[in-house]
């Protein structure tokens, strides 16, 4: 009982003190005659985005509260300045927001990447199953942001930049329970070609559209270039996010875009085939660009499963069309289990 009471008192201090300071500063700021000077405005902004977050960090540093919870305090302080400061000081406050928001975004980005890498390494050290970066970052983001849709979209964006710009180490040696899908399928070459086409096309479209609308031309160019970055990240992820069989589960991955897992006891039949399947059951090809990517294995399931695709969008499947480089070894391994 004493422990629960002490914990409650500690939480009241941690969250109550910053809240009390925010209320006090807001009351002061709403007296526009007192804060209608640049010096007072700077002081209030620094209190909201520096002093209070630092106090909050000092209060939580020895607790189990995630350090990243300081981010809502920072963002809340910035947003609050838009409502409590007088109109005459909004330009100065806007300058602070334009500087601090990108810094906060970068800070959160690098924090999550570092935390995901540490979590993945720790998990791999304690368990048999290899946890890759995308799974680790998704877990980290979902722990911080309870909205699953937002968390999946954010983790996807972080993974894109991580694989495209920060991951340069060689892929790990392939274990006996892992299978590649990019070496013989031509998928890597396909996405390299698509990336080059996007880069060339974006330059040409920019030149055509710019005379009529420079802003629209730049929006198209930036969107096209970012799609190229996504494809490049996908290529690098394909070499590292392998199909894995362990703990009576098959973990299917296709770069950064497609994920699912199938329990071995949910497999009805498996066959080597490159033909198109005609059936009333829900058929899904484990690929990003559909028929442009090949398959050489058909997996028939007893019960439908969910496939997680672009930005975490889910769809159901009862028959999977997949490509495995060492198809015979993969099929034999599954058939041994099926008996």
Is 312 within 8 Å of 302 (Cβ atoms)? no
- The segments of the chain whose pLDDT lies below 50 read 1-2, 126-128
Nearest to 310 by CA among 235, 259, 250, 242: 259
Residue 125: predicted pLDDT: 57
Instruction: Write down the pTM of the prediction.
Output: 0.68
Helix axes 38-46, 2-29, angle to 10 degrees: 160
Q: Which helix (H) or strand (E) holds 330?
A: helix 327-338
Q: Please tell me the chain's helix, strand, coil percentages from 3-state DSSP, rounded to the nearest 5.
A: 65, 15, 25
Distances (CA, A) of 280 to 20, 257, 296, 318, 334: 62, 26, 20, 10, 24
Is 225 within 8 Å of 199 (Cβ atoms)? yes
Residue 77: predicted pLDDT: 83
Structure tokens at 321: 């069309």
Number of residues in the chain = 339
Instruction: Report CA dihedral (121, 127, 132, 134) to the nearest 10 degrees.
Output: -100
- Residue spans of the domains in the chain: they are 2-112, 178-238, 243-338
pLDDT in tens, 176-212: 889 999 888 888 888 889 889 888 888 888 888 888 8
Dihedral angle sign, alpha carbons of residues 58, 63, 67, 72: negative
């Amino acid at each position: 009982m004493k422990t629960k009471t002490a914990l409650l008192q500690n939480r009241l201090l941690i969250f109550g003190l910053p809240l009390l300071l925010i209320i006090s500063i807001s009351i002061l700021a709403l007296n526009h005659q007192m804060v209608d000077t640049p010096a007072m405005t700077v002081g209030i902004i620094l209190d909201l985005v520096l002093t209070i977050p630092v106090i909050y960090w000092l209060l939580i540093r020895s607790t189990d509260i995630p350090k990243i919870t300081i981010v809502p305090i920072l963002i809340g302080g910035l947003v609050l300045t838009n409502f409590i400061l007088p109109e005459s000081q909004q330009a100065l406050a806007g300058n602070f927001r334009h500087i601090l928001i990108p810094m906060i975004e970068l800070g959160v980005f690098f924090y999550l990447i570092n935390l995901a890498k540490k979590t993945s390494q720790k998990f791999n050290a304690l368990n048999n199953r290899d946890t890759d970066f995308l799974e680790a970052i998704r877990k980290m983001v979902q722990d911080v942001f309870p909205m699953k849709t937002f968390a999946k979209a954010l983790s996807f964006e972080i993974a894109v930049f991580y694989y495209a710009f920060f991951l340069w180490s060689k892929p790990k040696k392939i274990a006996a329970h892992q299978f590649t899908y990019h070496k013989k399928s031509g998928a890597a070459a396909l996405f390299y070609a698509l990336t080059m086409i996007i880069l060339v096309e974006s330059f040409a479209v920019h030149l055509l559209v710019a005379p009529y609308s420079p802003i629209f031309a730049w929006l198209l160019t930036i969107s096209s270039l970012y799609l190229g970055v996504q494809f490049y990240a996908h290529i690098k992820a394909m070499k590292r996010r392998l199909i894995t069989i362990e703990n009576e589960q098959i973990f299917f991955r296709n770069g950064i875009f497609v994920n699912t897992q199938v329990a071995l006891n949910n497999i009805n039949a498996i066959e080597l085939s490159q033909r198109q399947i005609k059936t009333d059951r829900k058929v899904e090809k484990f690929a990003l660009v559909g028929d442009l990517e090949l398959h050489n294995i058909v997996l028939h399931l007893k019960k439908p499963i969910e496939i997680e695709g672009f930005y975490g969008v889910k769809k159901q499947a009862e028959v999977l069309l997949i490509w495995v480089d060492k198809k015979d070894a993969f099929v034999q391994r599954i058939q041994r289990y099926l008996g």
